[in-house]
Amino acid sequence: SQQGEEDPQALSIQEGENATMNCSYKTSINNLQWYRQNSGRGLVHLILIRSNEREKHSGRLRVTLDTSKKSSSLLITASRAADTASYFCATAGGGATNKLIFGTGTLLAVQP
């Protein structure tokens, strides 16, 4: 399967704590993206990191990428109840198709 793997599958934390999710993928990539999906809603793009970057920040989000290990992590600092959602990584291999391959997702629950 081309599907990337994410772990943990589910994560429950208290408000104010940090949440870390990991993503592993199988093929070489052009970039890796993280998306959030609230229950019953569509996916929302959070952040994109290119294959020549090792770390990127956006607000309370920090993404790292290790292409030698084919893995990425998403850190959400000072979590809020509104961060409760499923988080997916998606890899883009470049080329002529704009194709994204999604990971299996991490369900994050932030308890108030």
Binding residues with another protein: total (CB under 8 A): 24
Please, which residues bridge with residue 13 across strands? 110
Asked if residues 11 and 21 have their Cβ atoms less than 8 Å apart, the reply is yes
Using the contact rule CB under 8 A, the part of the chain among 11-19, 37-45, 59-67, 71-79 near another protein is: 37-45
The reply to whether 14 sits near another protein by the rule CB under 8 A is no
Of these, 7, 18, 45, 82, which contacts another protein (CB under 8 A)? 45
What is the rounded distance in angstroms from the CA atom of residue 43 to the CA atom of residue 58? 18
Residue 42 or 59: the one with the smaller Cβ distance to another protein is: 42
User: From the CB of 77, what's the least distance to another protein, in Å?
Assistant: 23
Asked if residues 45 and 33 have their Cβ atoms less than 8 Å apart, the reply is yes
